[in-house]
Amino acid sequence: MLSEMNPCTGGNGCAHICQSENGIARCACHPGYQLSEDKKACGDINECAEGLADCSHHCVNTEGSFTCTCRAGFEMGADGKQCYRIELEIVNSCEKNNGGCSHHCEHATGGPRCFCNHGHQLDSDEKTCIDFDECESGEACCAQLCINYSGGYECGCQEGFLISSDGCGCDDVDECLDVSRACDQLCINSAGTYDCTCEEGYRIGSDGKTCISLDDDELEEEKEQLEVVRFPGLLFKNPPQLLNYVAASLSPTYENEEDEEEDVKDVQGELTALHTFEKPENKSKLLRIKSYHLYHNKNVTLFTCSIFFIACSPKTSEKEDGGSRCPCQNGGNYDPLMQQCQCPPGIHGKICEDECPKGFFGKNCRRKCKCANNGSCHRVFGTCMCEPGRYGRFCHLDCPKGAYGAGCSADCQCVEENTLECSAKNGSCTCKSGYQGNRCQKACPHGLWGSECQLSCGSCENGGECNKNSGNCDCPPGYTGPSCTMGKSLIDAGE
């Protein structure tokens, strides 16, 4: 009996596999291929297009197969299909050489970003910090002298003045109160300096301080014409320290026939004044004293005055002793023509009794301050004095990072890498989660986490550690889950 012939002998024209079923030959294909219409050839199956690949991210078709790929930041799992996030270590661009910054460095996605301490600015290379000259730029608030130094500036004053409490203005030094400079008898203070003078019967010595007693001949001449003072405004300060001045007024019915003349008139019965007069326009009953010398022939009381004046109005109230009260305070000048006080810059009021109200400065307090963010302005110069945490010509800038306090002059003491924020007002440190301490210098102790370490960690099993930043359990290899109680092998089997 002849044996049955195998129909697949010679391959029967199949491209891949020939299968014999009940003496009939059928073609088949390898995995990843499918029979063509001729039932013999094999064509590639596109698993990606057919949805057969089951890749979690990307699918790349290949001849007879496919390959799964992952997006950036992920890696392929053991099954060749599932993608898992790669826990990348963030590289701080400021760690190496401070990012090339000469002062401070802040890590950013585009690389290191440099910034400077207060009083400095970035150079053209955006890395080097150079001094910012506040004196040259006009940012300084100084009234007289400005001294620039690296990172800031200081105001100074000319001789005869002291720096005021705001650090900007200059206040006149009352040399008459300085014992080491004391005059022998009378001291007259003026802006930036002082002069000494003497009482009746004495003359000033060559040193400008000592009073020398007059001899009989000099004294006789002194009784006839003793010059009391030649200083404008009678700026006596000591003694006595009263805000009085000697009134040198004329009768309101007195008239000059010429514009200027010299005359001698008795003033209030005790003083004689040699005046040069001029008649103001439209003031027929008032004479303005252009210049004067005061003389007396009696032992009269000298009155002090803290203001500069020309003459008083005839309406000025008089005292029995021949003096009258200074009408203007705080260095104001009395104008006899306008019959009112002319106040210095920064002062206002009927008798110059008040400082400028908040928000105004200058002469007659008419100029409006331009200080932002509750900054106050100097009543005379208008210079802005900023609240702690602000700086700039108009207090419009926040303190640069790393600086705080008045004028942003103090450096923050917080440990930078552990700190979220340093208060620009008082320098207090707000710590990142996982740190505590007044400088954020301490890591949270075991079992605590969060800002200032105020939160308690949950239970972490199998050697897991509480993450001081998030409070989650950092599990050892082989374990996962909120408490590290789930083995990875069990999870893989469940998938």
Q: Which amino acid is at 482?
A: P
What pLDDT score was predicted for residue 179?
A: 61
- 39 and 52 assigned to the same domain: no
- Please say whether the beta carbons of 136 and 148 come within 8 A: yes
Domain count, the chain: 3
Per-residue pLDDT tens digits for 463-480: 788 888 888 888 888 788
- Residue 395's beta-bridge partner residues? none
- Out of 83, 105, 138, a domain closes at 83
Q: Is 5 domain-assigned?
A: no
Q: Is 59 domain-assigned?
A: yes
Q: Is 20 domain-assigned?
A: yes
- Please say whether the beta carbons of 292 and 274 come within 8 A: yes
- 485 and 462 assigned to the same domain: yes
3-state secondary structure of 47: helix
Per-residue pLDDT tens digits for 287-301: 333 333 343 333 333
Q: Is 291 domain-assigned?
A: no
% the chain with pLDDT above 70: 72
What pLDDT score was predicted for residue 474?
A: 83
CA 289/CA 271 separation, integer angstroms: 15
- Out of 58, 83, 108, a domain closes at 83
CA 47/CA 69 separation, integer angstroms: 14
Does the predicted model carry a pTM greater than 0.85? no
- Out of 29, 58, 83, a domain closes at 83
Per-residue pLDDT tens digits for 325-366: 456 777 777 766 666 788 888 888 888 888 888 888 888 888
Domain span including residue 26: 12-44
CATH of the domain at 484: 2.10.25.10
Q: Is 253 domain-assigned?
A: no
Reported as type and span, the H/E element at residue 136 is helix 134-137
The mean pLDDT of 88-98, rounded to a whole number, is 74
Instruction: Indicate if the pLDDT at residue 460 is higher than 50.
Output: yes
What pLDDT score was predicted for residue 65?
A: 92
Q: Nearest-5° angle of CA 65, CA 66, CA 67?
A: 140
Short-list 378, 330, 408, CA closest to 168: 378
What pLDDT score was predicted for residue 325?
A: 44
* DSSP secondary structure string for all residues of 51-63: T-S--SSEEEEET
Q: Kindly report the backbone phi and psi dihedral angles of residue 296, in degrees, each rounded to the nearest multiple of 5, phi listed first.
A: -150, 155
CATH of the domain at 61: 2.10.25
- Please say whether the beta carbons of 48 and 54 come within 8 A: no
- 466 and 482 assigned to the same domain: yes
Q: Is 472 domain-assigned?
A: yes
- 53 and 40 assigned to the same domain: no
Q: Which amino acid is at 383?
A: T
CA 232/CA 258 separation, integer angstroms: 25
Instruction: Indicate if the pLDDT at residue 407 is higher than 60.
Output: yes
Q: Is 60 domain-assigned?
A: yes
- Please say whether the beta carbons of 161 and 173 come within 8 A: yes
What pLDDT score was predicted for residue 471?
A: 83
440 to 414, 416, 466: CA distances (angstroms): 6, 8, 19
Q: Which residue has the tokens 């019959």?
A: 339
For the record, the structure tokens of 7 come out as 């129909």
CA 390/CA 405 separation, integer angstroms: 8
pLDDT band at residue 181 under the 50/70/90 scheme: low
- 61 and 33 assigned to the same domain: no
Instruction: Indicate if the pLDDT at residue 311 is higher than 80.
Output: no
Q: Is 123 domain-assigned?
A: no
Instruction: Indicate if the pLDDT at residue 412 is higher than 80.
Output: yes
